[in-house]
Structure 1
Amino acid sequence: MENRWRMPPETAPQARTWMAWPPGGYTLGDDPGEAETARRAWASVANAIVDHQPVSVLVTEGERPHATALLDSRVELHVTRLNDAWMRDIGPTFVVSTGPERQLAAVDWVFNGWGAQEWASWDADALVGRTVAALADTVVVPTTMVAEGGGLHTDGEGTFLVTETVLLDPGRNPGWTRERVEAELRRTVGAERVIWLPRGLTRDYGRFGTRGHIDILAAFPAPGQVLMHDQRDADHPDYEVSRYTRRALEKEGLTVIPLPAPAVVRDDEGWVDYSYVNHVVCEGAVIACCFDDPVDKEARDILADVYPGRNIVEIDARPLFARGGGAHCITQQQPDVTRL
């Protein structure tokens, strides 16, 4: 009989965090100074996490010297091919069996460059799920559904948050219905209730966006509670996104905890999607995005309140968001089945 799999919450005990090191392309860019800024941004997240639990980083042979120089010596490196460095999306989603003997498994989503976007390459990244599964010495749960880890979030009790513009994206899953997506989520990650939100934040629909990932919009700190990106500036297009997202979540009976957007609303490229929702939960800590912004302290206090007993460790996330994501986007947690 096939195991039934369940995705634990991010607050569950963790064995390690998986990351990928920027291999080049738009993430590093052509300017040596900007490339170093990107490398240091990735390193800051890995080095913050490794103080609390093991960290494994995939890296290309060409970038290994840079990774070795910038990463804490406790970070474990694995040389492989990569197109990009957004481990939440290119890597697997870890699940555990629901039987009496807990078994770890890795859901190997089909990855196609966030809906086959014209600038993306993914021949190497499409193999990362199985690479990580092999390194973690765990079985693979195969699927034909195109998805990314940043496109779903769970409370660990079978409720999942997703957006229509990601999982029903014609560039990802042409012809798929909600029912088919929900059935596949039930089979692979144990979804019992799927809450569909219509879209994500505005910037995420730009050229290098994901077309609406949930992990910069909303996240479960605990069952029944949702942290939600709260854009308070009425001129920002995400002001309306926040309003109808809150209504949709409350309609589902969830307690919404507004996590304010930073005071800054624009950068050189237009409306920002800076989000404190895109944080990383690990053993004894939360790695929080900060933006040298007046709202940083308020967001930090809210995170400390909803994650009692965990230290809030801030990293400057502006270089990450300038490249299309945040701290959560570049990490993937591996549950510790011995403590579940």
Structure 2
Amino acid sequence: MSVMPPEWAPQDRIWMAFPAPGYSLGETAEEADEARRTWAAVANACAGFEPVTVVVDPAEAAAARAVLAPEVEIVETPLNDAWMRDMGPTFVHLPSGELAGVDWVFNGWGQCDWAAWDKDEKIGSFVCAEAGVSRIGSAMVNEGGAIHVDGSGAVLVTETVQLGQGRNETWTKAEVEAELARTIGATEVVWLPRGLTRDYERYGTRGHVDIVATFTSPGRVLLHTQHSESHPDHEVSASLHSLLADRFDVVELPAPATLRDAEGWVDWSYVNHLVVNGGVIACSFDDPNDADAVAILRDAYPGREVVPVDARPLFDRGGGIHCITQQQPSARV
């Protein structure tokens, strides 16, 4: 049985994808420049801690090289979009300790009418080949942003994702749990009823867990907590706290003070961070709560340097720092 290690386990590399022409780059030269520089800021921050490989559409190779740090490796292949967490493989340990990659079915977050995925659905297999690891195929529609593990068998999932429209509508919970046991070694599947409010709008994932809650150690969950009663996520986070507190030690990570942007209620979340060797790449929002979030993350991951990166351009496009990255853990010896 293969087992997914927790995100704080030693890593060999971070994988990312670079924005390709289309939705992520936007419609104007200014939007494209903003996207390129934001993705590059995350890659360059990661490169301060460990090797980084960025998958780049050939049309964007020159633009990528212009903004990525020299030490960041580029590999080229066609892309639709730039959310490596979701289209890329989920790395696991085989019983031998060697690394493998679970290649989920990726179908544009449940066949969203605005998404294209004819190229991105091949990225899981491509990254496995580039990483030199064996591929574990799966018939389940799933994305890396839809699971979080604690390294001791527990995994967080969301009913509106794994069992949601356009994904695995005909599957039962038992079938999903069996596939998670086979692929990532899950022995306890914790079903959250839903995700954050904005994630159910047109360009959302309909409930990804990685903007809601994450493990920071076995038995301890870091939970996005909206304290403002005027925000619809206040009720969401309160109900999730009640559910999770029955099983885990829950640490609240308060939401940014900003409640709305030009599109409506924000889903800005400090939970959507990336753990790297010796560090944490954290979302910042030029918000009064940024400093408090850094302090909580520093306490949650003792001994790691917390590096904030402005994530507003990412959330404008539907995700955050965790969503655009995928860690490749070290083989277990």
> Which residue does the alignment assign to 1:155?
150
* Correspondence for 1:112 among 104, 107, 116: 107
2:2 equivalent to 1:8: no
Matched, 1:216 2:211: yes
Q: Residue 280 of structure 2 corresponds to which residue in structure 1?
A: 286
Which residue pairs with 1:40 in the alignment? 37
Aligned with 1:94 (options 91, 96, 119): 91
Question: What is the letter of the counterpart of residue 143 of structure 1?
Answer: S
CA distance in 1, matches of 2:14, 2:25: 22
Counterpart residue number, 2:172: 177
Deviations 1:43-92 (A, max 9, x none): 00000000100000000111011100000010010010100000000000
**Is 1:305 the equivalent of 2:303?**
no
- 1:29 Cα deviation after fit: 1.1
**For 1:1-340, what aligned pairs fall within 5 Å after superposition?**
4-98=1-95, 101-251=96-246, 253-338=247-332
TM-score, normalisation: structure 1: 0.97
Cα distance in structure 2, aligned partners of 1:127 and 1:65: 23
Q: In 1, Cα distance between the equivalents of 2:105 and 2:186? A: 18
Alignment partners' CA distance in 2, 1:170 and 1:210 = 11
Read off the aligned partner of 1:88 and give its amino acid letter: R
Q: CA deviation at 1:26?
A: 1.5
Q: Distance in 1 between matches of 2:160 and 2:312?
A: 25
Q: Following superposition, which runs of at least 4 residues in structure 1 exceed 2 angstroms of deviation?
A: none
Determine the C-alpha separation between the residues in 2 that align with 1:104 and 1:262. Answer: 37
Cα deviations across residues 138-184 of structure 1 (Å, max 9, x unaligned)? 10101100000000000011100000000001310121010000000
Aligned amino acid, residue 275 of structure 1:
S
1:19 CA drift (Å)? 0.3
Letter in 2 for 1:22: P
The SS at the match of 1:26 is coil
| Corresponding residue pairs, total | 333
- What's the offset of the Cα at 1:190? 0.2
State the SS of the aligned residue for 1:62.
helix
Find the aligned partners of 2:48 and 2:123 in 1 and give their Cα distance: 25
Distance 1:120 1:66 in 2: 23
Q: What CA RMSD, in Å, does the superposition of the two structures yield over aligned residues?
A: 0.7
Unaligned 5+ segments in structure 2 are none
Q: Secondary structure at the match of 1:289?
A: strand
Paired AA for residue 57 in structure 1:
V
Hey, what's the Cα distance between the residues in 2 that align with 1:208 and 1:56? Answer: 27
Take 2:257 and 2:6, find their aligned partners in 1: how far apart are those partners?
30
Give the structure-2-normalised TM-score.
0.99
CA distance in 2, matches of 1:319, 1:172: 27
What is the aligned-residue identity percentage? Answer: 57
Shift of 1:234: 0.3
Once the 2 structures are TM-superposed, how far is the Cα of residue 25 of structure 1 from its aligned partner? 1.1
* Partner SS state of residue 314, structure 1: strand
Counterpart Cα distance in 1 of 2:182 and 2:97:
17
